[in-house]
Amino acid sequence: MAGMGILPRRSYMKATGRRLVRWMVPDGCLEVPREETAGCVFQLRFSGDGTHLASATMDSTVEVWDHAQRRLCHTLDGHSEIVTSLAWVNSAYEPTLFSASLDKTIRLWRNWQGVWVLREHTDWIRCLGISPDDATLLSGCVSSRIFGWDVASGRVKFSLGTDSANLCSVSSLAFMDHNPFVFVSGLRDGAWHLWDARSLGGHICEA
């Protein structure tokens, strides 16, 4: 299994092999919407209203599913390598989604059309995170670099890195609930760092 998404309405989706599987909770009813997903699914993310499910695929596309009808409704094509991470902008007035890829770019999709391509990363991007107020997007890559992006403009707000002698892939990023400034980064070696975007001279905690 490479990815999972939670929907508040008593169900969740997971990617297993070449299938998208839906479990109904708590009765354990299993549904398989599609058998022919193209290779491994790396991440699943529900939109904030639960109407759409986005899946990051091995064939460099983002597939968007209509949750109620359990059918593929959009395929977002633009990346040239595996799509590794997804982040919805839930406060937007129309469907808005970020995708990251091993092609070192982040793409913004609005109403299922490409809008921006963000190119500051010079290495494979592994993860995305978005602040609870949808104002800041985080991205992390395999060479320890973290960028903070202004969601409204696509401009870089800050950049964080690790000494070149201690490079380690950034594998996960997440903001604290209800706090648009404090976030955590998880590394491939098992360490994690806690940051405050208001004072980025160094991390405020680590383990």
pLDDT value, residue 172: 94
Where is pLDDT greater, at 1 or 117? Answer: 117
The pair of three-digit structure tokens given for residue 135, joined into one six-digit string: 């104002």
pLDDT value, residue 30: 43
Where is pLDDT greater, at 119 or 188? Answer: 119
pLDDT value, residue 38: 55
The pair of three-digit structure tokens given for residue 184, joined into one six-digit string: 């955590």
Other C-beta atoms lying within 10 Å of the C-beta of residue 192: 16
User: Contact 42/57 with Cβ under 8 angstroms?
Assistant: yes
At residue 205, does pLDDT exceed 50? yes
pLDDT band at 188 (very low <50, low <70, confident <90, very high): confident
At residue 28, does pLDDT exceed 50? no
The pair of three-digit structure tokens given for residue 177, joined into one six-digit string: 């609930």
Lowest mean pLDDT among 10-14, 63-67, 138-142, 143-147: 10-14
pLDDT band at 110 (very low <50, low <70, confident <90, very high): very high
Where is pLDDT greater, at 194 or 25? Answer: 194
The pair of three-digit structure tokens given for residue 30, joined into one six-digit string: 């299993």
Q: Which of 21, 80, 82, 13 is nearest to 47 (CA)?
A: 13
Q: Is the model's pTM score more than 0.75?
A: yes
Cα dihedral: 71, 74, 80, 86 (round 10): -80
E strands along the chain, which residues?
3-7, 11-16, 19-24, 30-34, 41-46, 52-57, 61-66, 71-77, 83-88, 96-101, 106-110, 113-118, 125-130, 136-141, 146-150, 156-160, 170-175, 182-187, 192-196, 205-206
Where is pLDDT greater, at 76 or 144? Answer: 76
Q: What is the mean pLDDT of the chain?
A: 83
pLDDT band at 19 (very low <50, low <70, confident <90, very high): low
68-94 tens-digit pLDDT: 888 999 999 999 999 999 999 999 999
> Could you tell me how many residues make up the chain?
207
Could you tell me if residue 50 is left (phi over 0), alpha (psi between -120 and 50 degrees) or otherwise beta? left
Q: Which of 189, 104, 204, 177 is nearest to 147 (CA)?
A: 104
Q: How many angstroms separate the Cα of 40 from the Cα of each of 31, 43, 193?
A: 18, 9, 29
Residue 40 CA to residue 193 CA, distance in Å, equals 29
pLDDT value, residue 29: 46
At residue 11, does pLDDT exceed 60? no
At residue 17, does pLDDT exceed 90? no
